[in-house]
């Protein structure tokens, strides 16, 4: 982890859901570099979450991990409450946890539909609903959506795309709802990012890479940098916005 010169998030308390790997881990590390105390949620691997916490601590940051399955909205609500109980406040909420199921509409089961919507939409709703009760002036809510929240360029992606369109719609509506409290709400929409779920040398790369203007996959740290901006004081006049971080996929 690099050391921040500004520590512009010093004293802030942040939650990053699904922060044990990939984009979520990169976001947690970046917010910690900027001075925030970070709570990482995870659903399965406590070892992976603790590894992120340990890396942050070794670099002089502060973090903790709390188990909260995003498929169970009650656990997401409890995550927010536990964070506030422990630290006395919540300043930044990053809804990062998400799942992807790619199938034609005729092949999707009710259980698969419910799982995608529970994790990608209902958990975000539960987290924001609870966070909005505790956040005040200067609060930041950031959801990791997808460039598929703009359009879907492949068959079998409708369910995932619908979930990401949903959080984009929520973002715009919540920006209106929470503006009187001084809370901003934005969504970051990644294109193809090099993670273990979609590696730059994986099965999807030959199709996805040429769709980007920059002809490459993005890095998790490049998503984290945009989240860090939206979490900080410089973004105080930005709300209800969707940021495509997609290498020009939608250019």
Please name the helix (run of DSSP H) or strand (run of DSSP E) that holds residue 40, with its range, or none: strand 37-42
- Residue 180 burial (CB < 10 Å; 0-12/13-18/19+)? exposed
Which helix (H) or strand (E) segment is 65 a member of? Answer: strand 62-67
Residue 237 is among the residues annotated as catalytic for this protein: no
List the beta bridge partners of residue 190.
245
Are 204 and 217 in contact, with CB atoms under 8 Å apart?
no
Residue from 42, 113, 154, 160 carrying the catalytic annotation? 160
C-alpha pair distances (Å), 8 with each of 87, 103, 231, 237: 19, 43, 10, 17
Two tokens at 141? 């809510």
What whole-number distance in Å separates Cα of residue 23 and Cα of residue 1?
A: 15
> What is the set of active-site residues?
160
């Amino acid at each position: 982890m690099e050391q921040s010169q500004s520590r512009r998030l010093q004293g802030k308390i942040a939650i990053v859901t699904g922060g044990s790997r990939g984009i979520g881990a990169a976001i947690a590390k970046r917010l910690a570099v900027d001075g925030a105390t970070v709570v990482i949620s995870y659903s399965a691997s406590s070892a992976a979450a603790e590894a992120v916490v340990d890396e942050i601590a070794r670099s002089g940051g502060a973090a903790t991990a709390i188990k909260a399955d995003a498929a169970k909205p009650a656990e997401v609500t409890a995550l927010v409450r536990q964070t506030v109980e422990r630290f006395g406040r919540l300043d930044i909420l990053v809804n990062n946890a998400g799942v992807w199921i790619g199938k034609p509409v005729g092949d999707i089961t009710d259980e698969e539909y419910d799982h995608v919507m529970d994790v990608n939409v209902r958990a975000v709703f539960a987290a924001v609903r609870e966070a909005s009760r505790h956040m005040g002036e200067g609060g930041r809510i950031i959801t990791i959506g997808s460039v598929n929240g703009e359009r879907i360029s492949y068959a079998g992606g409708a369910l995932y795309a619908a979930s990401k369109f949903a959080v984009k719609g929520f973002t715009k509506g919540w920006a209106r709802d929470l503006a009187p409290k001084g809370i901003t709400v934005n969504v970051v929409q990644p294109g193809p990012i090099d993670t273990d779920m979609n590696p730059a040398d994986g099965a999807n790369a030959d199709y996805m890479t040429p769709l980007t203007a920059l002809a490459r996959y993005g890095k998790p740290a490049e998503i984290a940098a945009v989240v860090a901006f939206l979490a900080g004081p410089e973004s105080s006049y930005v709300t209800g916005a969707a940021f495509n971080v997609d290498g020009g996929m939608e250019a």
